[in-house]
Chain A
Amino acid sequence: MTTSLELQAIHKHYGAVQALGGVDLSVAPGSRTAIVGPSGSGKTTLLRIIAGFEAPDAGRVTLGGRQLADGPEAVPAHERGIGYVPQDGALFPHLTIEGNVGFGLPRNTPKRAERIAELMDMVALDSAMLARRPHELSGGQQQRVALARALAQRPRLMLLDEPFSALDTGLRASTRKAVAQLLGAAGITTILVTHDQAEALSFADQVAVMRGGLLVQAGRPLDLYLRPRDAAVAGFLGDSIVLPAQLAGGWADCALGRVAVNDSGRRGAAQIMLRPEQLQVAEVPAEAAAHGDACYGAVTDTDFGGSVCVLSVRLVRGTGPAAAAPAPSAAWDEPLLVHSASMHAPALGAMVRITVAGQAHVFSA
């Protein structure tokens, strides 16, 4: 039942505005792909083209070997058998929940009622709700009904258009998890569109980052997080520290001193990236910085956020041999963001020693 989806050079314009400028993407059978990007990056347009609500100006969409669109020649949405759950569920207000879930099931479907009950069961909703109206349900329940309605078609591919964004934080995570499990168990290839990077990273096997109508990078969530293609992708997927550095033999000399990098071949000037959780801070006496041979900084701001405390640390140049390395960033003045466990967070104004765990990522070019 599982089917792979191939997108080739998808282009789409709205008047003079380019919405998609040549997107290639391939989605493995049974996998979960998240398309992320800021608003206006073209992710929803891409989803609508896959669903068949709109036709691309150019480019090809194939699903399981069947060509769905080749430029403006497109199979209409209702002949594609692709499930779709929109942002707000778009339940039909004039029908009961039963009418909504069974909307795509013809009247004479054998065991129609059983099938509807089974679908309600799948999305963990009580069958007693079937007689209710959409507005009598909570937001999370409405989303589940929308999912059940789409599942009734036994779709080969399920498209989720920011389906969790209308839910509150707690419900959001649990619904996301439930949906991921449900779709995974059913073996349905899934594409999720979202502007929430945490949601994308946790939900998907493959994350595709879009920007300005182009697909900038696609890959496994961890790969993307640790090895983003450029600073913008890095920043989109989470807080990042980008520093200029001089590379040589798998090491980088930068404002933080000598740091291991994940590219042993590169030499010369480059940009490196670290995630804030790679930096570890330990409080030291104020005068330590003057004599120490490591990298020191002063805490200029603390932002308490519950379990994690985000510190702003301004580098203080030490006099030791490591600090005296010829860093190209001698004038590096920006405060660094450091994630610290709240329990051990240094106080405002404290002097800290900074160490780097793991390797820094080198941006190509």
Chain B
Amino acid sequence: MSALPLDAGADAALKPAVAVLLPAPAAGRSGWRLSWVGGAALVVSLLALLPLGFVLWVGIQTGWDTASALIFRPRVGELLVNTALLVLLTVPLCAVLAVALAWLTERSDLPGARTWAWLLVAPLAVPAFVHSYAWMTVAPGLHGLTAGVVVSLIAYFPFLYLPVAAALRRLDPGMEDSAASLGLGPWAVFFRVVLPQLRLAVCGGSLLVGLHLLAEYGLYVMIRFDTFTTAIVDQFQSTYNGPAANMLSGVLVVCCFALLGLEAAARGKERYARVGTGAARMPLKRKLGRMAGLSLLLPALLSVLALGVPLFTLGRWLLAGGTAVWRFDELGPSLVQTLGLALAGALLTTVAAVPMAWLSIRSPGRLQRVLEACNYMVGSLPGVVVALALVTVTVRLPIYQTAITVLLAYLLMFLPRALISLRAGIAQAPVELEQAARSLGRTPTQALWAVTMRLAAPSAAAGAALVGLGITNELTATLMLAPNGTRTLATSFWAYSSEIDYAAAAPYALIMVLLSLPMTWLLYQQSKRTAGR
């Protein structure tokens, strides 16, 4: 997966759970389910089930004896321990760090809080494997679990900081007042009232971080830490389409589902919205007083580690490499290829998401919810599993080793991003407008395009941009599926840094960071807007 999957993952986890929990109202009255919209949604959903179907199919094909021989061996146990330790150490640390930082920037009078907030989100613009590249330069001896936890923490904490800060801004300070009037000191108020309210944000963010940890390839290869994903790619590269890689990916899928289940259980069924009516008053900022100096150390330290180190390293390599590393004959085609793939992928994914998004808003029903759940679920599967599934399926087809297969992988991996944005956009276009257009003589399809899609266009564009950004920084699936000779920014960077030619890799990293920055800014703004401030 890429370095910037945003809230897609969190929602990907949430949707299936919600779909199961909520009894849907009776399916729509109209005959839409049989129309082309329903048909298209069904096709996309079935496509989304492909990776899961692949895992099941491979499991059955291989047979229990071979499968158990491949799964129950020391190597797999070792990988399982590695991956589990990585997740169990990194996610709680990320959560604690994110809550502390969010409290400082949102609820205290920390000097320059807005600037710090932005600086704490900005590391999202740096792909995870560029983080580890930077750390390998600064501390070449870095390796193993400790390194894995530290670099993951630095690369992924914004995924938790962003939702927690937004939730803190939304929290009704009236509840904290009430708790204080009931005799609770500031610490007790924080632990008994504020923290429980942050549960959804912490759960969602933790899941997102956890899924990233399971899916990330580049980061861990560079610091020589073996996880399931790195092992699967290794297997794939040495034995190609062997059952060993397939079985490992089966275990990885089980790990993903375990995370999803854990999160669904942890988030519980409570309602966290404010109960009262009317607007909440603005929260008071707590005075840090003498602690201000000490408190500044935390965001400052993290900004240095998460932003300073990558930028310093890139600067250093660019200086060292001089003009020689700017080989425009390579950079140009690489950039063009990346942008081409990103554009095509974003367009394809957004168009594919339209029928499902429209159905889920306009005629929610049990069937639609199940279909939608398929779409979200595929986004939480690691890119390596999606890639393996596509290799297995397409190997005998003419589209094997073509851009079409790569685009299909992107479609599956980034579908939830497009879907979430589109859903939000379509929800803003009231059905009455569509009905008005139909009463004025437009067919349902014309009405959808002329009214709803016109209104949802900004959201669709935002979703497409998120997908495009994900594709720009995607490494694993591209490495495994791209036709020979494909050199995207990410794979070029990877090729050079694998040859330890760090200077030659730097321009590619820089371009990826620069391309990601505007989107990171957009995300930051969006998280402020959803909080209503």
Residues of A within 8 A of B (CB): 48, 51-54, 76-84, 86-95, 103-104, 133-135, 139, 142, 146, 149-150, 152-153, 159, 166
Contact = CB atoms under 8 A, between A and B. Distances in A.
Chain B CB within 10 Å, residue with most, of A78, A81, A84: A78
Contacts of A94: 196-197, 199, 270, 272
Contacts of B175: 90, 92
Given A92-B193, A94-B197, A94-B199, A149 B178 contact: yes
Nearest to B174: A90
A82 B178 CA distance: 10
Contacts of A52: 180-181
Contacts of A84: 177-178, 181
B427 to A, nearest CB: 22
A77 B177 contact: yes
Contacts of A79: 183
Query: What DSSP secondary structure best describes chain A's contact surface?
Result: loop
Q: 9 smallest A-B Cβ distances: which pairs?
A: A88-B276, A104-B182, A84-B181, A77-B180, A90-B174, A94-B196, A90-B178, A134-B275, A78-B180
A152 B179 CA distance: 12
Most buried by A among B172, B180, B199, B270: B180
B324 interface: no
A103 B175 CA distance: 12
A153 B182 contact: yes
B283 to A, nearest CB: 11
Nearest to B280: A88
B278 interface: yes
A149 B182 contact: yes
B99 to A, nearest CB: 16
A135 B277 contact: no
Interface in B190-236: 192-193, 196-197, 199
14 contacts: A53-B177, A76-B186, A77-B181, A78-B180, A78-B181, A86-B177, A103-B192, A135-B275, A139-B277, A142-B275, A146-B178, A150-B178, A153-B181, A166-B277
B273 interface: yes
Nearest to B272: A93
B277 A88 contact: yes
B141 interface: no
A107 to B, nearest CB: 12
Nearest to A82: B181
B284 interface: yes
B271 A150 contact: no
B184 interface: yes
A53 B179 CA distance: 11
Interface string B162-182: 000000000010110111111
A253 B363 CA distance: 74
A142 B178 CA distance: 14
A54 to B, nearest CB: 7
A104 B183 contact: yes
B185 interface: yes
A54 B177 CA distance: 10
A94 B174 CA distance: 15
Interface in B274-333: 274-278, 284
Contacts of B192: 103
B180 A53 contact: yes
Given A90-B174, A103-B192, A166-B276, 9 more contacts: A53-B180, A77-B181, A78-B180, A78-B182, A88-B275, A94-B196, A103-B179, A159-B181, A166-B278
